[in-house]
Amino acid sequence: KHENFLANVHPEDLPRLEEAITIAIAEKLKNTAVEFRLRHKDGTYRWIMAQGSVYTDDDGNPIRLLGTHVDVTQSKEIQNREFRYALEKERLRLLTDFIQDAAHEFRTPLSTINSNVYLLRLSDDKQYRNGKANQIDNQVVRIQRLVDMLLMMARLESGYGLTFAPVDMHSILIALCDNMRVQYQDRPTLTLDLPNSMP
């Protein structure tokens, strides 16, 4: 009978149930409880809350395991619905935060580009103009990276896997420092010291 019972336990729950039974017998537990799925006579699986106690003989040897099975499928489905609702609510919150952060991240390089374009129009100094053009290039790279992040989010939402690739640390650090200089107007002064070759 014990084997027939175990044959109807859901395969994913069987190891956990067998472990709970083994521990209950070894430790002679009273009123121990475990949840698992059990195949119903109609072929579907039902969630069961099993509670039982180990009974011993006069010498303390386990001789019987008695308990009750209660069908808790309905309450389990309610819990699962509540969990899925909470999960979806959290997902929407994270997505909203991400969109707000992305919007802010887009504004910063665009502001840098606008400022540098304005200054380019005012200057005839070729070296100065080249410097500003380089800053614009770096901010364009940053925007491209943000777009790539948004596309990655879209792929994750649709179930596609991640693709890992090397990134240009040199460009990222230059763009970061340029962004900080624009944001804080060199107060305090920020110095960037990069080696010739970055990984």
Tell whether the model's pLDDT for residue 194 goes beyond 90. Answer: no
Tell whether the model's pLDDT for residue 12 goes beyond 60. Answer: yes
Question: E strand or H helix at 32, and its extent?
Answer: strand 32-39
Tell whether the model's pLDDT for residue 160 goes beyond 80. Answer: no
Going by C-beta distance under 8 Å and a sequence separation of 6 or more, which residues neighbour residue 182? 108, 111, 112, 115
Tell whether the model's pLDDT for residue 137 goes beyond 90. Answer: no
- In the prediction, which pLDDT does 36 show? 92
Tell whether the model's pLDDT for residue 1 goes beyond 60. Answer: no
Region of 159 (left: φ > 0; alpha: ψ -120 to 50; beta: rest) is left
Q: How many residues does this entry show for the chain?
A: 199
Q: Average pLDDT, whole number, for the chain?
A: 83
Beta-ladder partners of 32: 52
Mean pLDDT of 59-88: 88
